[in-house]
């Protein structure tokens, strides 16, 4: 039963975990294997096979790029029912959860029942921005974005 909660723990835990690192390494191994298979097919003059493998590798790289680019929206969409149940359970007008962070930066998920969070848009000298970004009608990301 505990293994069923692993995806939920991954989604709520920040999205960057051992599971993601393992998946990234596996994807790289598959990609290098496909490149080797493409070279073998070209050397054997199997043009149709080489074209299909190259198209598959291109689609795989494109998919991985799009998943990484939209990981925040994917994570919020998967975890939204959890956050809505937390809001309903506590009956608060504003709630904040840790979303992401590291040394010197932090991003929080903010729930505001009024639908109007404080606006902030300031830049520091390092190219980072203190900002509030809307995810949903009442959910926002609030923090330092680099």
Q: What is the pLDDT of residue 42?
A: 95
pLDDT tens column, 84-109: 999 999 888 889 888 877 776 788 89
Evaluate if residue 146 carries a pLDDT over 60: yes
Neighbours of 111 (CB within 10 A): 20
**pLDDT band, residue 70 (cuts 50/70/90):** confident
pLDDT tens column, 4-61: 444 544 455 554 556 667 777 888 888 899 999 999 999 999 999 999 999 999 998 8
């Amino acid at each position: 039963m505990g293994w069923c909660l692993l995806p939920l723990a991954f989604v709520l835990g920040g999205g960057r975990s051992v599971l993601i690192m393992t998946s990234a390494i596996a994807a790289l191994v598959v990609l290098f294997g496909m490149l080797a298979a493409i070279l073998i097919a070209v050397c054997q003059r199997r043009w149709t096979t080489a074209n299909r493998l190259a198209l598959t590798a291109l689609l795989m790289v494109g998919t991985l790029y799009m998943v990484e680019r939209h990981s925040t929206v994917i994570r919020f969409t998967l975890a939204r029912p959890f956050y809505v149940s937390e809001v309903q359970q506590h009956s608060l007008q504003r709630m904040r959860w840790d979303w992401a962070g590291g040394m010197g930066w932090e991003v929080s998920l903010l729930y505001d029942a009024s639908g109007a969070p404080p606006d902030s848009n300031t830049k520091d000298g390092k190219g980072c921005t203190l900002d509030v970004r809307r995810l949903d009608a009442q959910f926002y990301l609030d923090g330092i974005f680099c």
